[in-house]
Structure 1
Amino acid sequence: MTATIAPEHVAEDRTAGARRVSVARCYRFELVKLVSQWRVRLLVLACWIAPALFVAAVSRQSTLPTDTLFGRWMHATGWAGPLVVLGFAGSWALPLLTSLVAGDVFASEDRLGTWRHLLVAVRSPRRIFVAKALASLTVILLLVAGLACSGAIGGVAAVGNQPLVGLDGHLLTPSGAAGEVLLAWVCALAPTMALAAIGLLGSVALGRSPMGLLLPALVALVMQLAQMLPLPVAVRLALPGYAFIAWNGLFTSPAQLGPLLIGIGVSLVWAVVATALAYLLFLRRDFTNLTYDGSGRHAITTGLLPLVGLVVLTVAAVAVATPSMGSGIEQNKVQRSVATAFAHLYRMQTKQLNRPDVTEAQLKVTAACNKGDGQVTPEGAGNDWRCVVTWHLPGVEAAGTAVYQLDVTSDGRFVADGDGPKEVNGYFLVKTPIGDAPNPLWQFDGNVALLSTPSKG
């Protein structure tokens, strides 16, 4: 006996098959699923509230996080707070957030065993991948926006809309500081997207394994450790997390844009490649296997090895584009950075002490720096740098001198600690429009351009 299908049933099947779920509808569904999780809701709430409370509380303390970039200026301006938050977020918060969101967006379906239901409803693995990737990216952008806005609101509300001292001592107007802070957070989106793409790859490749959830945080930790090592500049710039550091160059005049642009470019390449690898693995997986626990050999051949190859290619490309295989921290660069910062801060001190104004051209500041008391080659990171700064005042024949001890880190940041004379760079309080503040020449932060730049004059 031959079975037949009624014509009306055939029409219904064709109509059902024609009703394909669009990417937009699938995206809304995935976004609602993410936001409905209590964990994600807590993250959003924390990102929009915690930074403001932290910045406001720290700004009112007698001691400041001076070991953090811009931490020493949190009493002076509200725009230092969001930069302190950005420094913390780039090291810890953003890698963890990308792990919890992007690193779990596919693995959650494996744990719940809901892939078959989702495939029946959507009928397209491609649309499912796109929807999940966009939904996770949307949530991550919401979290980043919360960190930035909350930190800025907390700082301005607690301290005020005051000028910000840059990393070379020059003063940014409140509007200029606001623009640079916003741009710094926008630049941090590129490495965040790279970590999110790595999270997608880990979630697809490792299935319900906890390693997929931790992969972005582990990659970020490895990159942080690598930045602490005496690696060549080309290797540093080729790591996708370097843009979390390179935003420092926005706060010098002129801005040190070379490392920042390279870092953003490398991060975006990583984001595209890691997402493409996750997409290929996702299309190849067997959704009928209820015990699926990762792609196994495919995770290595399609996921890990291409990323290793990408590291080699980016290092080679950066090395060719910027032939700098050394540390990038050289004597002339340190001397130039210290002299520039001192000149700007000396003018600030002059204004605070109500002395006659002078210009940088009149001061003619120079710095003579050595490392290890002159017993070692003056290059590379270390806390054994010593600089003697010399300047001239109009109408005064004798030159002024001041000594600084420098602690220079591998990424080019340094802290200059005044070592006399105490009347110039010792610790004493000066009156400012917002109250008493430490002598600006006592301790200050600076930044050495790791890439070679043309000398002025």
Structure 2
Amino acid sequence: MTATLERPVAARPVPLHSGYRFELVKLVAQWRIRLLVLACWLGPGLFVAAVSLQSTLPVDTLFGRWMHATGWAGPLVMLGFAGLYALPLLTSLVAGDVFAAEDRLGTWRHLLVAVRSPRRLFAAKALASLTVILLLVTGMLVSSSIGGVLAVGNRPLVGLDGHVLSAGDAAARVVLAWACALAPTLALAAIGLLGSVMLGRSPVGLLLPALVALALQLAQMLPLPLAVRLALPGYAFLSWTGLFTGPAQTGPLLIGVGVGLLWAAVATGLAYLLFVRRDFTDLAYEGSGRRALRYGVLPLVVLLAVPAGAIAAGTGATGSGIGQEKVQRSVATAFAHLYRIQTAELNRPDVTEQQLRATAECARGGGQLDPEGAGNDWHCVVSWHLPGTEAAGQAVYQLDLTPDGRYTADGDGPKEVNGYFLVHTPSGDAPNPLWQFDGNVDLLLTEPKG
């Protein structure tokens, strides 16, 4: 009788959905993640509702001056805050530690024996982090929207060029703005994954997304060329404002979203390459050393330079993108729209933008400086005509214009036109809409020659 020899059966890797479910449960089981979920689903709504019911509004914040008028201003104020602080912090806490935690706990051998595939293990951790981040961002959007609508109401929103968006249109654009902000959020999350893989048990990986976000904010404050500004992965945190003009300024927004997604894909790919090439038998692993520099840092430096060149060649973007003609057109358009709002609130006969024929003459530094670029020394004189009147009306504004094209126009007379006084609105008494207003310059708009 001969013995039958059985061939050894190779151990199959655990299915991806099983590993993903396991990693997701591990993340949600952490007390800090549970606190973040609770804070993101409750905090923004309570904050927006509380601020909307105050007598004093954050007028120095974009859309803050409209929080008494409509509930859809609140989620936009929250988005501006989230892009600066909350979303970089969330990506650090979720994605920045997802691999480094296993190094500190010494559990890689157990995970690899259980999953039997470094590739699937990486995918499971990345997808679990992405799921939690999407849950947190969705919570901030839903919570702030509900808080604003319940506190103030589902009312129309005044856009950044003074035109009025219906409540339904405003709601759709708010959701789209938050969706666009996901692109730089994913870029920061991917950088967090890369840092977590690259730096091992070092706590620097946990801080890397927040540090990168801080560096990007500082860079946006510098007088960078427009092509370089658009190539930064966090630009979509700023360019969503283009959704609230008519027509929408989609050029900078689409570029910002595309660059953010490109950074997310490249950084995730680099993290994957470093992870699958790692020697997991080294129990004293402290980072990837020169391999991290070669496969982690240098490709990101190249990634910053290549899109900038492509943007400059494809769009013809030169200089700051802020020119005299663009500023004048934006200020005149916003003034004309807001003048009609003021006319309705003061119960005066209606007038159209075509009848007003509003124009603006803007200069910097009293005409002593080149009328180009950001600064708080812009001075504009707006002229308009009323039907049946030959003389033109004039109003003076002081502008504070930031490098990303946003500006605040502060009325400087005459008082009966753009001074401070209260007007009656459907939501109660409010400041004169022509007194102060926010606007946005289209940085990619081609100025006429000559």
In structure 1, distance between residues paired with 2:311 and 2:199: 31
Instruction: Say which of 373, 392, 398 aligns to 2:391.
Output: 398
Q: Deviation digits for residues 225-279 of structure 1, max 9, x if unmatched?
A: 0000000100000001001100000000000000000111111111111011000
In structure 1, distance between residues paired with 2:408 and 2:447: 24
Residue type at the aligned position of 2:194 = L
Q: Deviation digits for residues 402-455 of structure 1, max 9, x if unmatched?
A: 000000011100000000000000000001111101000000000011112466
Tell me which stretches of 4 or more aligned residues in structure 1 moved more than 4 Å: none
Secondary structure of the 2:360 match is strand
Secondary structure of the 2:288 match is coil
Question: Is 1:170 aligned with 2:163?
Answer: yes
Residue type at the aligned position of 2:243 = L
Q: Deviation digits for residues 330-364 of structure 1, max 9, x if unmatched?
A: 10000000000000000000000000000000000
In structure 1, distance between residues paired with 2:346 and 2:17: 62
Shift of residue 18, structure 1, vs aligned partner: 4.1
Residue of structure 2 in register with 1:427 after alignment: 420
In structure 2, distance between residues paired with 1:77 and 1:163: 6
Matches within 5 A, 1:175-194: 175-194=168-187
Shift of residue 35, structure 1, vs aligned partner: 0.4
Residue type at the aligned position of 1:285 = R
> Residue 325 of structure 2 contacts residue 447 of structure 2 at CA under 8 Å; is this kept in 1?
no
Secondary structure of the 1:54 match is helix
In structure 2, distance between residues paired with 1:136 and 1:267: 17
Secondary structure of the 1:20 match is coil
Instruction: Say which of 436, 442, 449 aligns to 1:449.
Output: 442
In structure 2, distance between residues paired with 1:253 and 1:412: 15
Question: Is 1:286 aligned with 2:282?
Answer: no
Question: Is 1:83 aligned with 2:72?
Answer: no
Q: Deviation digits for residues 259-310 of structure 1, max 9, x if unmatched?
A: 0001111111111110110000001111111111111111111100000011
Secondary structure of the 1:104 match is coil
In structure 1, distance between residues paired with 2:257 and 2:313: 17
> Residue 326 of structure 2 contacts residue 447 of structure 2 at CA under 8 Å; is this kept in 1?
no
Residue of structure 1 in register with 2:154 after alignment: 161
Residue of structure 2 in register with 1:58 after alignment: 51
In structure 2, distance between residues paired with 1:43 and 1:342: 42
Instruction: Say which of 10, 23, 47 aligns to 2:40.
Output: 47
Residue type at the aligned position of 1:62 = S
Question: Is 1:70 aligned with 2:40?
Answer: no
Residue of structure 1 in register with 2:206 after alignment: 213
Residue of structure 1 in register with 2:350 after alignment: 357
Shift of residue 108, structure 1, vs aligned partner: 0.7
In structure 2, distance between residues paired with 1:44 and 1:356: 51
Secondary structure of the 1:427 match is coil
Instruction: Say which of 17, 28, 35 aligns to 1:24.
Output: 17
Question: Is 1:197 aligned with 2:190?
Answer: yes
Residue of structure 2 in register with 1:3 after alignment: none
Secondary structure of the 1:404 match is strand
Shift of residue 107, structure 1, vs aligned partner: 0.6
In structure 1, distance between residues paired with 2:4 and 2:75: 66
Instruction: Say which of 304, 315, 335 aligns to 1:322.
Output: 315
In structure 1, distance between residues paired with 2:59 and 2:90: 26
Instruction: Say which of 332, 335, 353 aligns to 2:325.
Output: 332
In structure 1, distance between residues paired with 2:281 and 2:222: 46
Residue type at the aligned position of 2:374 = A
Secondary structure of the 2:70 match is coil
Question: Is 1:115 aligned with 2:108?
Answer: yes
Shift of residue 20, structure 1, vs aligned partner: 2.9
Q: Between Structure 1 and Structure 2, how many residues are aligned?
A: 446
In structure 2, distance between residues paired with 1:320 and 1:99: 34
Residue of structure 1 in register with 2:130 after alignment: 137
Question: Is 1:235 aligned with 2:215?
Answer: no
Residue of structure 2 in register with 1:347 after alignment: 340
Q: Deviation digits for residues 55-106 of structure 1, max 9, x if unmatched?
A: 0011111111111110111111000000000001111110110011011110
Question: Any unmatched runs of 5+ in structure 2?
Answer: none
Shift of residue 398, structure 1, vs aligned partner: 1.3
Secondary structure of the 2:395 match is strand
Residue of structure 2 in register with 1:376 after alignment: 369
In structure 2, distance between residues paired with 1:283 and 1:377: 54
Secondary structure of the 1:367 match is strand
In structure 2, distance between residues paired with 1:282 and 1:441: 57
